[in-house]
Amino acid sequence: MHTLGHVLDEAADFMMSQISTWISARLGRYAPMWILIGFGLTMIGGYSALSLRVDQDFMALLPPDAPEVRRLAQLNQRLGNQTDLVIAIESPSRDANIQFGTTLAKTLRTREDMRWVLFRRDKDFFEKHALLYMDLDELLELRDDVVDRIKESVEENVTEDFEEHEDAEKESGTAAPDPLSEQSIADKYDIDERMPEYMETDEGRLMVIKARPRIGPNDLEYAEQLNHDIQNTIQSLRPAGFHPEMTINIEGSFAEQTKRGRNMRSAVVDGSLAALFILLLSIAIFFRSLRAVGWVLVPLLISVISALGFASAYYGHLNLVSAFIFAVLLGLGIDFAVHILSRYRDERGRGTASETAWQVALSTTGVSTAAGALSTAGAFLVLSLSTFQGFAQFGVIAAVGVSLALLAALTLMPALTVLTSGKGHHTLGYQANKTAPQITPRTFPKAAAIVVIIALGFGVYGAYSIPQIEFEYDLSQLGPTRESEPANANTAQRQANTERWRDAAGRGTETAPAIALTSSLRETEQIHRQLSALIDKRDALKAKRPDPLPASPNTNQDNLAPDQNDEDDDDEDDPFENLEPQDITDIRDIIKATEVVEPDVAELLASYAPERHRVMVDRINKVFSVYDFVPSWQPEKLVLIRDMRRRIDAKRDALTEKDRQSVDKWYDKLQVNASFGPSELPEFVLEQLRDDDGQLGTFVLFWTLGPKANYKNSKRIRDAYFDLSVTGGTVPTAADYYALPAIIDAIVTDGPLVISGSILVMLLASWLLMGGWLGPLVVFGTVGIAILWLTAIMAINGWKTNLFNLIALPLLVGMGQDDALHLFHRYREGRDLRAAVKETGSAIFLTSWTTAIGFAGIFFANHRGLVSLAWVSVIGVMLCWLSSVVVLPAIIQLFEWQRRRSKTGAVAE
């Protein structure tokens, strides 16, 4: 009675026999048509593949419905690109830099693809409203200083003692800071620091222009064209005409992405061409025939180009993981043609006619090749179940490529041999040796047992080493492997210049921020005030002092208002001397009660869990929105400003000449009488704060601390800031670096599913091909031992798994099974292990070698993550070959010895 597995095995053999008979019988008649169809597919696929691009954005590694991707899409729709183009202008002359920067900025503003261009900031508006930009507690402190100074000035204006005291101070050089001087006031409102006229460093020797293109740097074609256009514009303006030593450099993400894109394309092309050359040379040496190179190469290229055409039509792009799919498919796809052509060569070497040789090759090796190819494609398709698109996209494209390569090997390659072989008896340089069939050993196969024991020993060590293999959570460790420029003095100078332009542009804001997407200015204000309060809290903790708030509910009133309780300063003729207006007292109460945080903001901050609030304080760095330019507490500040103006006006004539001159220099700042809102800001500010629909201020940008390439840091930030509280709901945030924790989480979640699915596909394919479970278990053990050897090597070398090399594990399961299936199926075909190892083993070596070469093409990538994928894949493929040709035959020998022993025992009984 046959088991289901044996029935399916016989059905597969029968079906493949019929297919091979049909193909071999029609080779002569339909060969030209099949080749024309193949070339037609190549033309279509090649045309489609011309538009295929590599998307280096990590968001491309997440599914389109991921929250991080949806939010970023919403952000791009509302705001467009949020990455700045930075142009650094450097010369010994600040004036020359200003002249050239003004000219270049004016030219850039004429480009339609620029949202805004910023070089010079007009500070008149901010100087006029300078006192409103002071913190409320600082403005109150200034008001108290003014009150005290007025009293001192009035009392000592006409006294000789005061003049002598003043002269003594000048002689001693210990004059106390004058609270009424313009410099003292400027130090408090700090407009020069908040809003410098130019973005500059090194006393203006280096200046920066910032521009915001409408399209981001991840569009490599646009970024390269933009860089090219701006370089031409710079050259047309002749910088040397402004100063002979002037240099202009494009900096920031646009320059970096352009360089990275060129390097990636160069690596892909170089790696693919190198892999292709070595593959062709290997085929020519193995088959000892240049004609065989064409027979293998043409179907292979047709299948790979068609797969790339599919990728272009279905995805439109390749991601970072699938970028080298061309080289990988070359190595994978060649396997099937090599195995079938190798069997055809063997049959021809035995003197079999061409048609019969093809029928034998397709009905025997073709069966195991089809099973191996379909199981490999199945393992690839399992990858598509992952939400990590590095797995999913690679898996789908590879599955299509492998399937097309199998189809081409079964049809196009036989057709090519018929059309190009002529009528001669071609054996591809091979003559089959007549060897006696192997006889099952009567004695215990000690060598085989030793091989199995050693293999299992290393496998056990590999299994023991698995917990020692760590996962790489820091993406910065997977970046470029080398600089594109040699490490020399020029490189060091370049790095120093990078630090300088970052200082000029504003450190912490040269990288892409996280962005809160608000629906109203009210929400924008609440988010901005929250984040500003967190920054104040962080600064206070960093300075190891209490929150930067001058008063607490238990503060002594004597310390708050010196003029309020000073009985010696009683002057009934001056209403301002002893009586503090109630509105000033109310402001003091506000400061004490709220600690200079608005009540509604304090309530929103209290809505976060304590641990989340702690992380928010710890990670916040900078914030920017329309309310960066609209100060808070404006009504209360206006009260203080009016109070100072009234006091100065009332006592102007009684002040000393020095104090009158000091006051006059900043008195114009006391003329502000009304608060202002976002729409009243200068145009150079407003153009940075409008969305694509012209709506003002409905977003908040914020920058956080710590490396965003580090999983733990980026996950802490994402979890803390993903949704921010506002009155009546929450506001979503989006950031490019939110992708990293989502990617790692997806890998951790989907990794076991993908590997388990690959193993299941392998067992199922083995069962369908061989029937029963003994064969599948032997194949599984062969592949499993190779994988455990790989883990041992990784542990010994201290290699870590990462989001790139993890993809190799399910691939190795499929490819290792393919090797084992071919050898085991060939052995079952004639029960001659020696012939199976000699003939099929050599073909397995070539296919393993070519697959390794395909992955070795990735070594050209200037990317440590991809290079780690290449190392794991190359070593893993060769270990699978070693296990298939050494361990598997040893296992078969042991099983054969045990079976013969069992039969002998049964006969004896």
Banded pLDDT at 565 (limits 50, 70, 90): very low
pLDDT at 494: 62
**DSSP code for 512:** P
* Alpha-carbon span 141 to 184, nearest angstrom: 12
pLDDT at 592: 65
Banded pLDDT at 464 (limits 50, 70, 90): very high
**DSSP code for 710:** B
| Close Cβ partners of 239 (under 8 Å, ≥ 6 residues apart) | 89, 100, 246, 247, 248
Cβ neighbours, 10 Å, residue 488: 9
The average pLDDT across 652-678 equals 85
The average pLDDT across 809-819 equals 79
The average pLDDT across 253-265 equals 74
* Alpha-carbon span 675 to 630, nearest angstrom: 9
The average pLDDT across 212-241 equals 88
For 453, 542, 556, the CA distances from 547, given in Å and listed in that order, are 68, 10, 18
For the purposes of burial, counting CB atoms within 10 Å of the CB of 313, is it exposed (0-12), middle (13-18) or buried (19 or more)?
Answer: middle
For the purposes of burial, counting CB atoms within 10 Å of the CB of 442, is it exposed (0-12), middle (13-18) or buried (19 or more)?
Answer: exposed
pLDDT at 736: 85
Beta-ladder partners of 474: 710
The average pLDDT across 757-786 equals 76
Higher pLDDT, 669 or 28: 669
pLDDT at 18: 61
Closest CA to 212 of 674, 875, 649, 690: 690
The first and second tokens of residue 502, run together, are 């970052």
Cβ neighbours, 10 Å, residue 768: 18
The average pLDDT across 708-726 equals 92
The average pLDDT across 533-545 equals 78
pLDDT at 574: 43
> What is the secondary structure of 325-351 as a DSSP string?
HHHHHHHHHHHHHHHHHHHHHHHHHTT
> What is the secondary structure of 420-475 as a DSSP string?
HHTTS---TT------PPPPPPSS--HHHHHHHHHHHHHHHHHHHHGGG--B--BG
Higher pLDDT, 661 or 730: 730
Beta-ladder partners of 620: 704
Banded pLDDT at 790 (limits 50, 70, 90): very high
Mean pLDDT over the full length of the chain: 79
Is residue 740 predicted with pLDDT exceeding 70? yes
For 608-657, the pLDDT digits (tens) are: 999 999 999 999 998 989 888 888 889 989 999 999 899 888 888 887 88
The beta strands (E) that lie in 548-662 are given as 620-624
The average pLDDT across 866-879 equals 90
Is residue 899 predicted with pLDDT exceeding 90? no
| Close Cβ partners of 465 (under 8 Å, ≥ 6 residues apart) | 791, 792, 794, 795, 796
What does pTM read for this prediction? 0.71
pLDDT at 815: 78
For 822-866, the pLDDT digits (tens) are: 788 778 776 677 877 877 788 788 888 888 887 887 787 777 888
Q: Which of 112-121, 480-489, 862-871 has the lowest mean pLDDT?
A: 480-489
Residue 768's H or E segment, with its range, is helix 739-770
pLDDT at 584: 79
pLDDT at 722: 94
The total number of residues shown for the chain amounts to 909
For 154-211, the pLDDT digits (tens) are: 776 655 444 544 554 445 444 555 666 666 666 666 655 666 788 888 888 899 999 9
* Alpha-carbon span 794 to 468, nearest angstrom: 9
pLDDT at 428: 53
Higher pLDDT, 108 or 752: 108
pLDDT at 172: 47
Residue that is written with structure tokens 């990078």 in the block: 498
For 376, 408, 772, the CA distances from 825, given in Å and listed in that order, are 16, 22, 13
Is residue 39 predicted with pLDDT exceeding 70? yes
Closest CA to 330 of 309, 308, 301: 301
**DSSP code for 131:** G
pLDDT at 490: 55
Phi, psi of 388 (to 5 degrees): -75, 115
Give the sheet arrangement for strand 729-734, strand by strand. 620-624, 699-704, 514-517, 729-734, 723-726
The average pLDDT across 514-537 equals 91
Residue 736, phi-psi category: left (phi > 0), alpha (psi -120 to 50), beta (remainder): alpha
Angle at 903 between CA 902 and CA 906, to 5 degrees: 85
Banded pLDDT at 487 (limits 50, 70, 90): very low
**DSSP code for 177:** P
The average pLDDT across 90-117 equals 92
pLDDT at 553: 34
Banded pLDDT at 573 (limits 50, 70, 90): very low
pLDDT at 715: 93
| Close Cβ partners of 404 (under 8 Å, ≥ 6 residues apart) | 302, 303, 304, 306, 307, 333
Report H helices in 798-887.
808-830, 833-835, 841-856, 864-882
pLDDT at 509: 53
User: Can you state the angle between helices 325-349 and 253-287, rounded to 10 degrees?
Assistant: 0
pLDDT at 243: 93
Distance from chain centroid for Cα 584:
53
Per the CB < 8 A criterion, the answer to whether 331 and 401 are in contact is no
Q: Which of 175-189, 370-384, 666-680 has the lowest mean pLDDT?
A: 175-189
Is residue 397 predicted with pLDDT exceeding 90? yes
* Alpha-carbon span 608 to 600, nearest angstrom: 14
* Alpha-carbon span 52 to 49, nearest angstrom: 5
* Alpha-carbon span 405 to 337, nearest angstrom: 8
**DSSP code for 513:** P
* Alpha-carbon span 24 to 360, nearest angstrom: 9
Is residue 2 predicted with pLDDT exceeding 60? no
Beta-ladder partners of 209: 87
Higher pLDDT, 815 or 313: 313
* Alpha-carbon span 884 to 889, nearest angstrom: 7
